[in-house]
């Protein structure tokens, strides 16, 4: 740590990186759920030979599950960040 660097700035930067990686993980999870729904719908269409209805239903289901998961994880992350901010304001460790 150099004299110009304020104490504790390294820990804040690493915390911000962790939050960024968690957000990236939430986004990847959401997109993979949509892709899984489309893939399962496509496989169902290939198995049953009924046109594109499986892809449509699977894609819509994947979007719904993905959005639900995205909102749930975002609420959880926001609550954790609020608790960490409160602890930091009170002078304790997060």
Share of the chain above pLDDT 70, in %: 86
Q: How far is CA 68 from the centre of its chain?
A: 11
Residue with tokens 């930091």, as numbered in its chain = 88
> Does the pTM of the predicted model rise above 0.85?
no
Of residues 8 and 59, which shows the higher confidence score?
59
Contacts of 94 (CB under 8 A, 6+ apart): 15, 83, 84, 85, 87, 88
Query: Domain map of the chain by residue range?
Result: 25-90
- Span 60-73, pLDDT tens digits: 999 999 999 999 99
Lookup: tokens for 50: 């009924």
Average pLDDT over residues 72-84: 88
In the prediction, which pLDDT does 41 show? 94
Q: Cβ(54)–Cβ(44) under 8 Å?
A: yes
* For residue 4, pLDDT beyond 60: no
Q: How far is CA 70 from the centre of its chain?
A: 6
């Amino acid at each position: 740590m150099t004299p110009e660097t304020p104490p504790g700035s390294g820990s804040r930067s690493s915390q911000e990186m962790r939050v960024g990686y968690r957000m990236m993980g939430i986004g990847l999870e959401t997109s993979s759920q949509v892709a899984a729904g489309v893939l399962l719908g496509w496989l169902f269409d290939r198995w049953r030979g009924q046109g594109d209805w499986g892809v449509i239903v699977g894609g819509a289901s994947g979007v719904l599950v993905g959005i639900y998961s995205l909102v749930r994880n975002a609420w959880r992350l926001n609550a954790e960040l609020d608790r960490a901010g409160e602890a930091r304001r009170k002078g304790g460790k997060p």
